[in-house]
Structure 1
Amino acid sequence: MTFETILYDVSEGLATITLNRPDVMNGLNTRMRAEIRTAVELAGKEARALVLTGSGRGFCSGQDLADTAGKIVDMEQTLHDEYEPMLRAIYDCPIPTLAAVNGAAAGAGANLALAADIVIATESAFFLQAFARIGLIPDAGGTYWMPRQMGFAKAMGAALLADKITARQADDWGLIWAAIPDDRFEDQIAARARQLATGPTQAYARIKQALRASYDNDLDQQLKLEARLQGEAGNTRDFVEGVTAFLEKRPAKYQGR
């Protein structure tokens, strides 16, 4: 499949989506949102892990405002028709997703990154909920991800003050998994991506399901869910391989099924 606004590659079980509009800091337009959704859905079928990153000096600057200049835009409809399907594709992706934030992640671009299972950023990167600067509220899932990942007080401050959050702050506050020195970033992303792409895919899918359900379940419900999902995981070839490899003191060779 040919894409115009992104690059898509699959190699050795790893899919990589690179936002590829560097002249506008990978700003999101209608076509890019559709292509991201399509590529994520493809990755869920073709790969065992997915990396989402940006080309050039930024990850994603959010909505490309030039794309809407001089137009009357129904923001509610755009969010329903274009943003929600893209974000749901990432959130519902059956394989682990890793956002490699290589630079600025602003507005919807920040929240696009936060939709991934794991976020790793360069130390020079930052996250910016810029919406209040133009009289809007955080969208693209921002009001969902932020309070869950860094707490209500930090989320409220980020939304109201619209200050830059450095990658180091985001790491310290629990918004992301890690901030990595720029000169080690590519190696770290490659290592983590390989780890996910060669890991127990079926277990990963159930880990995602269990952790997300915990927000709505009480303890008894969560224990029952854990038992059911663990029973399913215990019936996979990957479980047998994992135990065998442990006993034989060798690296496991997971097949992802």
Structure 2
Amino acid sequence: MTDFETLKFAQSGPITSIVLDRPDAANGMNDTLTRELAAAAALCDTDATKVVTLTGAGKFFCAGGDLKAMSAAPDPGTFVKGIADDLHRAMSTFARMDAILITAVNGVAAGAGFPLGVSGDLVLAAESASFTMAYTKVGLSPDGSSSYLLPRLVGLRKTQELMITNRVLTAAEASQWGLVTMVVSDADLPARLDELASRVASGARHSHAAVKKLLLTTYGAGYEEQMEYEARLIKASASSADGQEGIAAFVGKRKPQFP
């Protein structure tokens, strides 16, 4: 267990759990939470970690930026920039680490909580969860990678609708739009999260890391460039302990035991 002021952080074998833990403030992002989230993400970027789970304490996943903290800052612009920088560092680490990130949106995901919630490699949403951008409602502009992530997930037109009208999506609508992997009942969310994390953790870390790397480059690379990257990564996979174990298990007609 690592002690943080605004997060619960626990490691159990190859699985690391992060819980946003400011329930009295709707898990709103102040300078402490985003700074600690960036530090927690860095702790997950190790060879020992295969899965990271991220959820929120209480009834909210994350209501976005803490507007009360912003209003109390002597220089709100500089204060907000610092929050955004730390959040972006955390999200970049989550995206580029080898471990699979599973987010479990347990309630409202608003503002930066929206892109954070749907940034997982796998995204669970409770039936009561909802998603809204909410930035322009308070005179702010989107951050948290939303202008990168959302057009790729739902397209430009739907992103414009979300950002300009602040439409609120239910969990079912978010699933229909392709923002979440699966919707589960509120009561079942913790158990389904643990089950999925355990299943992914039993898989091949090297293969999962390769999937993440390939999908990060897919929109920026040309056709032949992407295929060459695929060839290089599958070569590395075949030479890895994971690849050798997977092939040997298949040939031997047994279940693979990935390290």
TM, length-normalised to structure 2: 0.93
Are the aligned partners of 2:84 and 2:144 in contact in 1 as well (CA < 8 Å)?
no
1:77 aligns with 2:66: no
Are the aligned partners of 1:49 and 1:196 in contact in 2 as well (CA < 8 Å)?
yes
Are the aligned partners of 1:51 and 1:97 in contact in 2 as well (CA < 8 Å)?
yes
Q: Which amino acid aligns with 1:11?
A: S
Aligned to 2:44: 43
1:140 match: secondary structure: coil
Q: Is the deviation greater in 34-43 or in 242-251?
A: 242-251
Q: Which amino acid aligns with 1:192?
A: L
Alignment of 1:71-150 (within 5 A): 71=73, 72-74=75-77, 77-78=81-82, 81-150=85-154
Please give the alpha-carbon distance, in whole angstroms, between the structure 1 residues aligned to 2:255 and 2:187: 28
1:179 match: secondary structure: strand
> How far did 1:232 drift?
0.3
> How far did 1:12 drift?
2.4
Out of 64, 67, 73, the position equivalent to 2:66 is 64
Q: Which amino acid aligns with 2:77?
A: D
Query: Mind listing any 5+ residue stretches in structure 2 that lack a counterpart?
Result: none
Are the aligned partners of 1:127 and 1:164 in contact in 2 as well (CA < 8 Å)?
yes
* Cα displacement string for residues 159-196 of structure 1 (whole angstroms, at most 9, x for unaligned residues): 11101111111111111212122233222211210122
Please give the alpha-carbon distance, in whole angstroms, between the structure 2 residues aligned to 1:80 and 1:100: 22
Please give the alpha-carbon distance, in whole angstroms, between the structure 1 residues aligned to 2:20 and 2:72: 25
Out of 226, 229, 232, the position equivalent to 1:228 is 232
> How far did 1:79 drift?
5.3
Please give the alpha-carbon distance, in whole angstroms, between the structure 2 residues aligned to 1:207 and 1:88: 16
TM, length-normalised to structure 1: 0.94
Please give the alpha-carbon distance, in whole angstroms, between the structure 2 residues aligned to 1:141 and 1:247: 43
1:50 match: secondary structure: strand
Q: What's the C-alpha RMSD, in Å, of the aligned pairs?
A: 1.6
Matched positions, count: 255
Please give the alpha-carbon distance, in whole angstroms, between the structure 2 residues aligned to 1:156 and 1:251: 47
Please give the alpha-carbon distance, in whole angstroms, between the structure 1 residues aligned to 2:141 and 2:71: 19
Please give the alpha-carbon distance, in whole angstroms, between the structure 2 residues aligned to 1:107 and 1:80: 12
> How far did 1:5 drift?
0.5
Aligned to 2:11: 10
Please give the alpha-carbon distance, in whole angstroms, between the structure 1 residues aligned to 2:211 and 2:42: 20
